[in-house]
Amino acid sequence: MRPEIAVLDIQGQYRVYTEFHRAHGAEKTIILINGSLATTASFAQTVRSLHPQFNVVLYDQPYAGKSKPHNRQERLLTKETEAHILLELIEHFQADHVMSFSWGGACTLLALAHQPRLVKKAIVSSFSPVINEPMRDYLERGCQYLAACDRYQVGNLVNDTIGKHLPSLFKRFNYRHVSSLDSHEYAQMLFHINQVLQHDLERALKGAANINIPVMFINGDRDEYTTAEDARQFGKHVGQSHFSVINGAGHFLDMEHKTASEALRNVMLGFLKPTTREPRQRNHYVQGHHALAI
């Protein structure tokens, strides 16, 4: 079934392209939040994993994807602005859950710190509160290539680092997408990277203490950029932290191979639709199913 498509007005300032994948009989709705430079297309596999158990909402930031033609791109967006856009979408779609990928985790945590009344659970995947050495190298080289608008280098950088475990077909799609973005999208990504390098995610972590719902943090054990070990530091800040490791997976959890995708699906549904009463302890560790390397 085709998704219901709408371009929503957000506080008279932004126009946001949305896709609503309605599932007849589903009781809950989940919103998926893209990583940097990504669009709704990157969540194709995740939608298949969550639908029809849930209604699934996808959207593009005002500067990206199918939202891009509807906005003037007159100013760069902060993560706080992205968080407020997410809060508006939560209200509009009456969303019960949210799930973010990679840098989408920053605006998601900022939004959750506002304690939106409707959201009951959240999943934050491939995100970490630590800028480790591999990530710092990736971000600093990214700054250099983005500032120069060097499309060849930007495309190769993504595939050689966080995308290193993707199948060759996905790498080709990834390169084609990243290397063909508009200059304002590069400027937006550069702005976000500089924010991250200057603040080391301190603001997101400080606000995370206000989050009052269960949050599942999912990372791949082969991801050296946002490691499962570093992600566990969220447990010091988010009161109801849960953790899962997808064995054999890198940064792009459900895009790398089928076994990792199935493991991620099991973890997501196990967290969002538990069949038994949930444990009360502060940090609950969930080990993902074993996945074969590519």
d(CA 263, CA 245): 9
With 70 as the cut, is the pLDDT of residue 200 above it?
no
- Please give the pLDDT value at position 156: 96
User: Using CA atoms, how far apart are residues 109 and 100, in angstroms rounded to an integer?
Assistant: 9
Residues in CB range of 83: below 8 A, 6 or more apart: 107, 108, 110, 111, 114
pLDDT (tens digit per residue) in 226-239: 999 999 999 999 99
As a three-state string, the secondary structure of 146-158 is HHCCCHHHHHHHH
Picking from 49, 8, 2, 55, the residue whose alpha carbon sits closest to that of residue 28 is: 55
Q: Tens digit of pLDDT for each residue in 129-157?
A: 999 999 999 999 999 999 999 999 999 99
Mean pLDDT of 69-94: 96
Residue with more model confidence, 161 or 292: 161
Average pLDDT, the chain: 90
pLDDT band at residue 110 using 50, 70 and 90 as cut-offs: very high
Task: Give the helix/strand (H/E) hosting 92.
Answer: helix 79-93
Instruction: Check residue 280 and give its pLDDT.
Output: 41
Instruction: Take residue 107 and report the two structure tokens written for it.
Output: 């605006």
| Tokens 């997410």, residue located | 86
Residue in the block written with tokens 């120069």: 148
The predicted-structure confidence for 48-71, as pLDDT tens digits, reads as follows 999 999 999 999 999 999 999 999
- Residue identified by tokens 């007849």 is 24
pLDDT of residue 277: 47
Confidence of residue 201 (pLDDT cuts 50, 70, 90): low
For range 211-228, the mean pLDDT? 97
Residue 279 pLDDT class (50, 70, 90 cuts): very low
Q: Helix-strand-coil percent breakdown of the chain, rounded to 5?
A: 45, 20, 40
Taking the C-alpha atoms of residue 5 and residue 54, their distance in angstroms, rounded to an integer, is: 17
The beta strands (E) that lie in the chain are given as: 4-10, 14-21, 29-33, 55-59, 97-101, 121-125, 215-220, 241-246, 283-287
Q: What does the pLDDT average to over 104-125?
A: 96
Q: What pLDDT does 204 receive?
A: 67
